[in-house]
Each structure stands twice: as C-alpha cells, then as structure tokens.
Amino acid sequence: MRSPAPALGVVLPPLVLVLSLLGAWEAFCRLLSVPVYLLPAPSAIGVAVGEHLPLLLQSALTTLWAAFEALVWALVGGALLALLGGFSPMFRRAFGPLAAVIQVTPVVALGPLFVIWAGLDHPSRALTALGALVAFFPIYSGLAAGLASADPDLERLFDLYDASRWKRLTHLYIPSAVPHLLQGVKVGGGLAIVGVVVAEFVAGSGDSQGLAWRILESEHQLHIAEMFAALAVLGALGAGLNALLNLCERFLLKTWRGR
C-alpha cells in the first residue's frame, strides 16, 4: 500500500497558502470595516456562492462546454497544421509569422469582430471560435517544437533502415512530440476559458449566459459579493480543468513516451 505522504505533500502547501490568504483577507475587511460594495469578505462571498450555487453551476457548465469545444477545435487545427509543417519545411516557414500574429493579437480586440461574424443570434459560435483561436498557438507551437525535437541518433537509425516517411512520423516524430503536445494542450485549455469569457463579455446576452454574464449582471446591480462568487467559481473551473488535463498527461505519458 502506497503512503499518502507524497499526495499530502502536493496538496497541503497550496491549501495552506490559500487558507492563509483568505484568513488575511477576512481579517483585513473586518478590522478596517471595508464596505461590502468595495471589497466583500470571503465569508460574504461564501454566503453568495451558497445562495446562488445552482445558477452559478449552470453558468459554469455553459462556459466549460464552450471552452471544451474550443479546445477540441484548437487541437484539431493546431495538430493538422503542425503535422503539415513537419512534412513541409516551406509551409512551416510560411505559416510561422501568421501564427505569431495570432498569438500577439489581443483577444479583447477580436471579441467584437467574432460576435458580429457569428451573428448576434448565435453568440455560442463566437465563444467557440474565439476560444479556439487563443488556444491554437500553444498547441501548434508545442507540437511543432516536439516534431523537431526527435533524437538525432534515432533519426540516423531510421536512415540506416531506410524507413518510410510514414514510419518516421508514427514511430519517431509523433512519439517524441507527445510531451510537448500535452504541455500545449494544458496551456491551451486555460486560454480557451479566457477566450470564451471574453466573448461572453462582448456578447453580453442571448443564450451565452455563462459565468461572464453572471459577473456583468452582478456588476449592473452592484451586487459585489455575487460578482466575486462568480469569479470564485470561474477560478475553480480553471483549476479543475487544469487538474483534469494534468491527469490525462500523466496517463498518456505512462502509455506512450518518446523513447
């Protein structure tokens, strides 16, 4: 039977840090009598989460599903273009600057365009498209870097046996790129949520009533504790998605590694 000490060592430090920060926040608000409309205490935020939990969970599922769709599209597009670049160095050199432009363009500036292009009656399309766009670059760049990181000694071995291009791709380059791809997917998962939330802020209504809509609704009504409650659920959503992707990474690396 494995000792629980390693798992406790992973969970305990961040838990202690979060509890310490929440305790300091609570003490600060109480000792200085900070107005609730300016900065609610964690206890007030917890009450707001409990009172609106069903609605917050429904909105969280809306945001999560849109982010999941965006991540899938980003994975498909990024993987295909990276593999194409692996086959064709000319395409890789031609597409590289465009991928860099996609990375550095502020997502907030693209939000209104995506909402207009998707149509005001179909904001969910804008959520998926913008989330996929911001999640695309880390997946593409991670896989492209992984394909180029194959062991030179193994490449010479494949040359010695006159391996076909397909054999090289499936038995050398892709296995070598798996760890890089998984890192890109982990980063892309967080960015997909960012893109979806930005699109939700821009769309502002319709059937895109995710967590960003709850934040806007609370802001307009000056319910600051409810706004923080939606932010807390959004943070928990991002942390949960990251933990899930970490588990997937560990499982895949056990079954398929570059060596």
Q: Answer whether residue 1 is part of any domain.
A: no
Q: Answer whether residue 9 is part of any domain.
A: no
Q: What is the pLDDT of residue 242?
A: 86
* Mean pLDDT for back-to-back runs of 10 residues, the chain (259 residues): 58 82 90 87 90 90 91 92 83 84 81 79 82 90 85 82 80 84 90 88 69 86 89 90 86 67
- Residue 138 domain boundaries: 53-255
Q: Answer whether residue 12 is part of any domain.
A: no
**Residue 167 maps to which CATH number?**
1.10.3720.10
Q: Answer whether residue 21 is part of any domain.
A: no
The total number of structural domains that make up the chain = 1
Residues 6+ apart with CB under 8 A from 133: 74, 102, 107, 110, 114, 195
Q: Answer whether residue 215 is part of any domain.
A: yes
Q: Answer whether residue 126 is part of any domain.
A: yes
Q: Answer whether residue 11 is part of any domain.
A: no
Q: Answer whether residue 143 is part of any domain.
A: yes
